[in-house]
Amino acid sequence: MNASDESLMSSSDAAQRERGTDGARSFEGRLLERMLTRLGSPEVEFTLWTGERVALAGVEPVCRVRVSSRATLLSILANPAVRFPDAYCDGRIEIEGDLVRLLERVYLADERAPVPSALARLLGRLRRPHGNSLAGSRANIHHHYDIGNAFYELWLGQTMAYTCAYYPTAETALDQAQIAKMDHVCRKMRLRSGEHVVEAGCGWGTLALHMARHYGVKVRAFNISKEQVAYARERAEREGLAGQVEYIRDDYRNISGRYDAFVSVGMLEHVGVDNYEGLGAVVARSLGDNGRGLIHSIGRNYPAPMQPWIEKRIFPGACPPSLAQMSRIFEPHNLSILDVENLRLHYAQTLRHWLELFELAGDRVQHMFDAKFVRMWRMYLAGSLAAFTTGTLQLFQVVFATGHNNEVPRTRAHLYVP
Amino acid sequence: MNASDESLMSSSDAAQRERGTDGARSFEGRLLERMLTRLGSPEVEFTLWTGERVALAGVEPVCRVRVSSRATLLSILANPAVRFPDAYCDGRIEIEGDLVRLLERVYLADERAPVPSALARLLGRLRRPHGNSLAGSRANIHHHYDIGNAFYELWLGQTMAYTCAYYPTAETALDQAQIAKMDHVCRKMRLRSGEHVVEAGCGWGTLALHMARHYGVKVRAFNISKEQVAYARERAEREGLAGQVEYIRDDYRNISGRYDAFVSVGMLEHVGVDNYEGLGAVVARSLGDNGRGLIHSIGRNYPAPMQPWIEKRIFPGACPPSLAQMSRIFEPHNLSILDVENLRLHYAQTLRHWLELFELAGDRVQHMFDAKFVRMWRMYLAGSLAAFTTGTLQLFQVVFATGHNNEVPRTRAHLYVP
């Protein structure tokens, strides 16, 4: 189909709409229209395997989707939130245009969609995501984090920090923003030389090394990802910090000992809301009477399950909490919330940077894995970016202290002294 | 009783305790010991009307309480949280020593006290504080805020701001700290000249005038206290700001119109948790798609009712929320929490300053009212100070924006630029 066909088709569509009929629309096309309406009318145009084009009246498409077969369309109609990205990954649909913009429209449209039926809500509640028992967490974390450090090195930047960065200015580069994030976290906790810090969920060990090197603290850092812990230990040895930083391959639930500060950056998403009170008990027993800490996590404005495709394919067991849900960590243990900062737009910028590096490394990723893997990770990174730009996801940094701790900073000005 | 009697009595007490008996302890004394144990062993010594002295073993008193009669003691034993301060106000007990320190010990001891029985918890739930219907709120607010502007002028300082101040340094004076608080609030909302702001609960109108004068905004400020609104209107006229600031004597539930920003400093304590979702609806309809705002309120680390004497005598209908409870304002309306700052120790300092001014004005207050009134307000201010120093109460400043508003500041550095 060439450009003139396209414009012809569009005017004919417009004419049909003016007539208020759907004339030559196929049965599948009508089902697709119904789905688009139910999804809140995202600005997308579909081209079916027959060449038929389907878009809602009055909608200006930002993206075009080509569907290869009736079976693919029917599968998407049955469960668009999961089967649409699956079909993209398998190459059964092609997407032309700006994937991030399309997904932004879908997220925004989703909020305008009619309230789900009672049956849909019930099914949603019954759908149990992957559990976070000790063994469940090991499996869930292995699924995402143990697929090869070399892959993550391609697009996370020098720091290998796989969490929201902090951009003091719009021009800050990724690596500098990751370092700024670590300093922001350390300053929020007012780390002092000689103190003992426990870290729950330490990724490739970057923050622990940063705290040890620049703030003179001793760190015990917990993580259940085999590959990450091996990588972190090797880094600590290589950088001469193995005496200050101990990486422990174990679950946060098994943290023992007493510390001055508790820090967790990007683990809470994997904990599961049902385990928050237990996590709070770990925090409280780690800190004793006079400690403080910081938890950094993806969150939401209100409770809602993880996007189901992300939960199924990318982050089994993951759930970003609302701030009220996060409070279940603190309230039962008289932990006092001192400071909450929402870094949502910083995560959007971080994802923009990751996605750029990922696309640059596309051929190498395809060589390491396959084309499907590239599409799956593109969908995940683009969808996450869209979720942060639209406000579907938030990023909360929560600073807290034990309830009677009066040794807390008077103001936050010290965070912003150059 | 002189000092040597005292030390004699103490050693004789110690001797008795070593014998593991309560020898000459009267029946009332034994009941009082039981109450003190139940309250978590606060460091206080009682002197009864008979001269008998009662304190728990191993406790170093910071305060001495003289009880005038058996009837007074029995009434305190029946309901210490309400009848102890009541007896102090009526002059039926005298307190020697540091009242704030005593109340701090009571607050801290309270947390160490055994978990209340099921019956006590049930009675607690059944005890309905004064309701916050439209009429209930009017009565509740009238009770506290309409007792005479001249009284409040004696101890609130020049600004007549009756909320937590903000102390950039430990040496900041009260009036400067109140001005710094208003600037902190305005900067957090990034007010721009020409914008429209709605204020819910405006006290004597100080913040509204400050926003209009220094940030060039138009303000509609709501309050149901007759005396406060009259005072605020007169101030606006006198200061030539009546064209920019409109004071409306009406309930926050009746706020109409569309605004760029919503602000409420020190009203939420009077709203009642059951009304938070409704308050959020008022916020959401006031802001439309692209607004932001700030709510400043006394809070708690975990949900708990107001101290019952304060609720009964000082602030009927009041309840300081936990942060999770506050979230009920935001979550149902997709309002996004951007920033939470806990200013607990700033409120302690504010109360220290108020209490100093109040004591300096003691004679004038007694002349305006009576000795009982002076004691009641001393108990309230000292108790509030103790609640903030011990972490029983918090002060949350919450900045929020509508869910899709991306015009939010990247960082908080702008708050700390001199």
Question: CA of B119, closest CA in chain A: separation in Å?
Answer: 21
Residue of B nearest to A387 (CA): B404
Residues whose CB is less than 8 angstroms from the CB of residue B80 and which lie 6 or more positions away in sequence, other chains included: B35, B39
Chain B residues touching A391 at Cβ < 8 A:
334, 336, 403-406
The yes-or-no verdict on residue A4 having pLDDT over 50 is no
Residue of B nearest to A107 (CA): B404
Contact between B400 and B337 (Cβ < 8 Å): yes
Chain A residues touching B108 at Cβ < 8 A:
404
Choose the closest CB to A327 out of B322, B339, B417: B322
Residue range A363-374: average pLDDT? 96
Q: What ipTM describes this predicted complex?
A: 0.91
Q: What percent of chain B has pLDDT over 70?
A: 90
Is residue A213 very low, low, confident or very high in pLDDT (cuts 50, 70, 90)? very high
Chain A residues touching B327 at Cβ < 8 A:
322-324, 327
Residue of B nearest to A327 (CA): B324
Residue A24: what pLDDT? 78
Does residue A11 or residue A73 have the better pLDDT?
A73
Between chains, do B412 and A416 touch, taking CB under 8 Å as contact? yes
Between chains, do B303 and A331 touch, taking CB under 8 Å as contact? yes
Between chains, do A403 and B410 touch, taking CB under 8 Å as contact? no
Between chains, do A337 and B323 touch, taking CB under 8 Å as contact? yes
Choose the closest CB to B336 out of A328, A394, A413: A394
Residue range B203-229: average pLDDT? 97
Is residue B43 very low, low, confident or very high in pLDDT (cuts 50, 70, 90)? confident
Contact between A198 and A120 (Cβ < 8 Å): no
Residue range B182-211: average pLDDT? 98
CA distance B242 to B233: 7
Question: CA of B407, closest CA in chain A: separation in Å?
Answer: 10
Choose the closest CB to B404 out of A339, A390, A410: A390
pLDDT digits (tens, 9 = 90+) for B389-400: 999 999 999 999
Average pLDDT value over all residues in chain A: 90
pLDDT digits (tens, 9 = 90+) for A297-353: 999 999 998 888 998 889 888 899 999 999 999 999 999 999 999 999 999 999 999
Pairs of CB atoms within 8 A across A/B = 126
Between chains, do B301 and A108 touch, taking CB under 8 Å as contact? no
Residue A11: what pLDDT? 39
Chain B residues touching A339 at Cβ < 8 A:
340-342
Between chains, do B335 and A410 touch, taking CB under 8 Å as contact? no
Instruction: Determine the residue type at B249.
Output: R
Average pLDDT value over all residues in chain B: 90
Q: Is the four-CA dihedral A11, A16, A17, A18 of positive or negative sign?
A: positive
For residue A208, CA distances in Å to A221, A227, B371 come to 7, 16, 60
B244 φ, ψ (degrees, to nearest 5):
-105, -25
Between chains, do A339 and B341 touch, taking CB under 8 Å as contact? yes
Residue B13: what pLDDT? 47
Query: Domains in chain B and their CATH numbers?
Result: 3-126 (3.30.1050), 134-416 (3.40.50.150)
Chain A residues touching B337 at Cβ < 8 A:
301, 323, 340, 342, 394, 396
Residue of B nearest to A408 (CA): B345
Half-sphere exposure of B177 (CA within 13 A, CB side): 28
Between chains, do B301 and A330 touch, taking CB under 8 Å as contact? yes
Residue A16: what pLDDT? 43
Please list, residue by residue across B128-143, b when 16 or more beta carbons sit within 10 angstroms of its beta carbon and e when fewer do. Answer: ebbebeeeebbebbee
CA distance B76 to B35: 9
CA distance B124 to A183: 46
Choose the closest CB to B336 out of A336, A339, A391: A391
The yes-or-no verdict on residue B234 having pLDDT over 80 is yes
The yes-or-no verdict on residue B203 having pLDDT over 70 is yes
Residue of B nearest to A326 (CA): B324
pLDDT digits (tens, 9 = 90+) for A92-117: 999 999 999 889 988 887 765 545 56
Contact between B195 and B286 (Cβ < 8 Å): no
CA distance B127 to B124: 5
Between chains, do A403 and B413 touch, taking CB under 8 Å as contact? no
pLDDT digits (tens, 9 = 90+) for A395-414: 999 999 999 999 999 999 99
Residue A9: what pLDDT? 36
The yes-or-no verdict on residue B8 having pLDDT over 50 is no
Between chains, do B406 and A389 touch, taking CB under 8 Å as contact? yes
Instruction: Determine the residue type at B209.
Output: L
Residue B333: what pLDDT? 96
Residue B10: what pLDDT? 42
Highest mean pLDDT among A190-204, B55-69, B75-89: A190-204
Chain A residues touching B289 at Cβ < 8 A:
none
Between chains, do B413 and A413 touch, taking CB under 8 Å as contact? no
Choose the closest CB to A302 out of B331, B340, B344: B331
Question: CA of B170, closest CA in chain A: separation in Å?
Answer: 8
Between chains, do A168 and B341 touch, taking CB under 8 Å as contact? no
pLDDT digits (tens, 9 = 90+) for B281-334: 999 999 999 999 999 999 999 999 888 899 888 988 889 999 999 999 999 999
Between chains, do B301 and A328 touch, taking CB under 8 Å as contact? no
Chain A residues touching B345 at Cβ < 8 A:
406, 408, 410
Residue range A144-166: average pLDDT? 93
Task: Select the residue from B181, B289, B290, B323 to test the A interface by mutation, using most A Cβ atoms within 10 A.
Answer: B323
The yes-or-no verdict on residue B124 having pLDDT over 70 is no
Residue A268: what pLDDT? 97
Chain A residues touching B167 at Cβ < 8 A:
410
Chain B residues touching A332 at Cβ < 8 A:
302
